[in-house]
Each structure stands twice: as structure tokens, then as C-alpha cells.
Chains A and B, each alone.
Chain A
Amino acid sequence: MLSEQEKTEIAAHSQHYPTARALCVEALKIVQRHRGWVSDESIADVAEALQMTPVELEGVATFYNMIFRKPVGRHVILLCDSVSCWIMGCEQLREHLHARLGIGLGETTVDGRFTLLPNVCLGACDHAPAMMIDNAHYQDLDPASVDEILAKYPKYPQEEKKEKKEPANGNTADP
């Protein structure tokens, strides 16, 4: 079942599209924001709410790399591996992250703190190499600056801030 909060957030976007189905990407992102990832159960919940079959929704969910169909850590590192960042040393950063965190691409640290994923061009090519952690962009990286950035993220779950920042809700309606 979708929570009341999830239903409210999804409904805030319903005026933007003429069909329920068109809401599905937004709905998947909302559910993922609340639940951390999109489980089979979440697929069933969203599909029911939007009058889609779970299989139809699964086809959409698995298409997008930012819809996580497997659990991820508390923070997701998205390391840009496109051409400008490759020239400027993203592979060295990947090796450094592996040495620091003990994880390769697609893996999560044993303490659940970080998941490391590759990402296509983040649009920071003049400040390569670049990465994102959750919603934050980082650029002009080297191993030392990566270490400083990682240190900003809480080591233990109990240190995480309670409320994660929610993005603004859709467009304003036609006044």
C-alpha cells in the first residue's frame, strides 16, 4: 500500500498529465525517496495506484538507471565515467574509492553507508572529473578532495539527519 504521504505527493503531479500512467516515473521517484529503493512490493503498489500492470511498470522502472530495483546504501555515489572525466582521471578515482571503501561499481559498503555506481556525463566537463553523492554535485576532484567529501557523510545510521530534504512539489497549478 502507498502511504498517505506518498499518495499526496504523487497526486500533486496529477494535474501535469492527461493520463495516470504518465505519472509513473514521478511516482517511482517519490516511492524511492521514501523507501530507499523500489522493491517488487513497491512496483505492485505504484502499478495499482496508476492502473498499470506490474509488468508494464517494471518495463519502465528497469529502463531508468536512477530507479533502483535493488537496495542501495544510505548514500549513493554516482561517479561520472563519460569521456571528459575519463580523460581527466575518473578511473583513478574509481580505484581510490575502491581502496577507501572496499567497493567496486554496483557494490555497497558492508556498513550500508555508500553504494558506488557509474553515471553518464554529469554536465561538468569543464570541471572534470566529477561525481554526485545523492543530490549534491562535486567537481574538479582528486583523491584528496574525494576523501574530504566522503568524511562529510555520517558513518553511523543514527547520525543521519531525520528529515531528508524534499524537492518542491511540482509546478504551481493554473491560478
Chain B
Amino acid sequence: MAARAACASVAHMDVGAALAELKELSTQIDVVLVSSRAGDLDASTATGQTGVKLARLAADIVTQAEQVRADMGREALAQLQAATPDGSVFAVLDGDRMAVATTGPDPTVGLVFYDLKTLLRQIDRGVDPPPAADEAARVAADESPEDGDA
């Protein structure tokens, strides 16, 4: 029983650390969380009850999107972006788990999806993450020769 509780605690810490690292590296993400598709929060960079509320709202968003998908007769939903002038909500689905992020207006969509997919892969594998997309792009730019040098 005690060992089981310890394992759960370590797993939770790992997810929290991964979220904190992603939040630190990505300049576009305001809040990021991991939850079940039913809206049960696993970990979040938001403090207090905000993370819990966001997880439930994200679950509602995914439920509504799933109904739209069913009405259209499409394949399973993989990810979504709900964009408003004030910002965007992103969700990437992986089985019963989902990674959710909020951003400001006009985010770089591909980078946010890349970061959330990487986060889910990292949590699944329990290994050190590759750098977030923003950081990877920055490192690549630093390492590439300047135009004038050629």
C-alpha cells in the first residue's frame, strides 16, 4: 500500500516537472496541464483551483468537439484548437489522457501542438524531454551560420 502510494507520488512529480519545464521553455504557452479526458486533473502549471476548473472546461470542450465529430461521421479526434481574439485553447488527445494549453492571441499553432505531443510522449516514456519547439528553434538559429558569413 505504502509502495503504491509512493509510486503514484513519484509519477505525479514527474508530470509536474515536465509541465514546469515546458512552461519555462515555451514563450507562447500561458497555462499547461495534463488531465484525463473526463477532466480529472493530473498536474497543471496553474495554481489553486484554476487548474481543476481548466481541466473540467477542457474536458467539456473535447466532449463538444467529439459530438461535432460524431455528427460529421469523421475519424477519432486527435487534437483541437479553439481560437478567439483573446487567445487559444489547445488540446492533444492520447488515449484517456490529454494535454491542454492556453496561449495568447495568434500563437504559432504547429509549435504548440508539437510541444504538447512531446509532453505526452515524455510522460508516457518517463524519459528526459527533447527541448520545446521554441527552444529547439532558438538553438538551431544560434548554431546556424549567419547569412553574411557565406
- Do A and B associate with each other? no
Interface residues of B (CB under 8 A from A): none
Interface residues of A (CB under 8 A from B): none
